[in-house]
Amino acid sequence: MTTAAPARLSPRLTAATTGRVLRQLRHDHRTIAMMLVLPSLLLGLLALLWADVPAPPGQPSTFDRVGLTMLGIFPFVVMFLVTSIAMLRERTSGTLERLLTTPQSRLDLLLGYGTAFGLAAAAQAVITVTVAVTLYDLDIAGPLPLVVLIAVADAVLGVALGLLASAFARSEFQAVQFMPVVVLPQFFLCGLLVPREQMAGWLQAVSDVLPLTYAVDALQELGSSPAATGRMWADVGVVTGAALLALALAAATLRRRTS
């Protein structure tokens, strides 16, 4: 027997699933194109929207603030949707049940998904950030690789929450509607629409426990500071921790035995 001990974390099995998910993506050219190009196009629309609106005196332009935040929100939303559908497909096609009878552990499977879509998000972020600063003159004070890093952390958070949400979805209709349930409240309360300090106290408290708040805060730090700040790293830590927590919860809700 050359097989490794089952039901334990195995980087080899995680990598096998990462490779498989990426190969599935590779066969789907339109999805790749949309994943890589769509955020740049949408960001361009935002740039045009605020192009003729003068910036308030002494403050960054609205596009600089919103555009930077969007660099974190796009990968979060896209990866949430893509993973919750991908996982639902695993369920309905019977492949999930089959995978659960193989030596691969549930966390291996979910980490495999997280890594695959994290890599896709990295490619997406590199393109979007490059286009934003060259074509749309988005002003970012901090180092661009860190912006990409935060975008990837946001994408992994989206993947983890998507995997978790898919456990509660019985159909595609339900899965798609988890997007507004999980994503929109986080978007409303993250501090982009209304500065957090101007929110009612209880809304601020809710905002404090939503991971996207920290993702947006990390990006805002990079918007004004030329180097990484301690607060930014703390934010990234919170986002990553929330993603790992959601992955662990998703693994726990993934039932090997079903009726």
Partner 1 sequence: MDAAVTVTDLVVDRGHRRVLDGLSTTVPPGQVTGLLGPSGSGKTTLMRAVVGVQVVRSGTVTVLGEPAGSPALRSRVGYVTQAPSVYADLTVRENARYFAALHGRGAKEADAAVAAVGLAAAAGQLVEDLSGGQRGRASLACALVGEPEVLVLDEPTVGLDPVLRVELWERFHALAAAGATLLVSSHVMDEAARCDRLLLLRDGALLADATPAEVRAEAGTDDLEDAFLRLIRAREEVAA
Contact partners, residue 148, CB within 8 Å, separation at least 6: 122, 125, 126, 129
- Amino acid present at 180: P
Cα dihedral value 148, 137, 224, 145, nearest 10:
20
Identify which range of 65-73, 75-83, 157-165, 250-258 contacts partner 1 by CB under 8 A. 250-258
Residue 177 Cβ vs partner 1, minimum distance, rounded to whole Å: 24
Contact call for residue 257 and partner 1 (CB under 8 A) = yes
Residue 225: CB atoms within 10 A of its CB come to: 14
Residue of 9, 11, 28, 33 that binds partner 1 (CB under 8 A): 28
Nearer to partner 1, 92 or 177 (CB): 92
**Distances from the Cα of 135 to the Cαs of 29, 35, 53, 145, in angstroms?**
25, 19, 18, 18
Say if residues 213 and 76 touch (Cβ distance below 8 Å): no
CA distance 58 to 158: 34
Identify which range of 24-32, 55-63, 178-186, 245-253 contacts partner 1 by CB under 8 A. 24-32
Nearer to partner 1, 81 or 150 (CB): 81
Site for partner 1 in 217-236 (CB under 8 A): none
Residue 33 Cβ vs partner 1, minimum distance, rounded to whole Å: 16
Nearer to partner 1, 17 or 40 (CB): 17
138 φ, ψ to 5°? -65, 130
Nearer to partner 1, 23 or 170 (CB): 23
Residue of 34, 100, 206, 248 that binds partner 1 (CB under 8 A): 100
DSSP at 54: P
Contact call for residue 13 and partner 1 (CB under 8 A) = yes
**Total chain residues near partner 1 (CB under 8 A):** 32
Contact call for residue 97 and partner 1 (CB under 8 A) = yes
Residue of 42, 51, 103, 135 that binds partner 1 (CB under 8 A): 103
**Distances from the Cα of 128 to the Cαs of 119, 125, 132, 217, in angstroms?**
14, 5, 6, 19
Residues found near partner 1 in the complex (CB under 8 A): 1-7, 12-13, 16-17, 19-20, 23-24, 27-28, 93-95, 97-104, 256-259
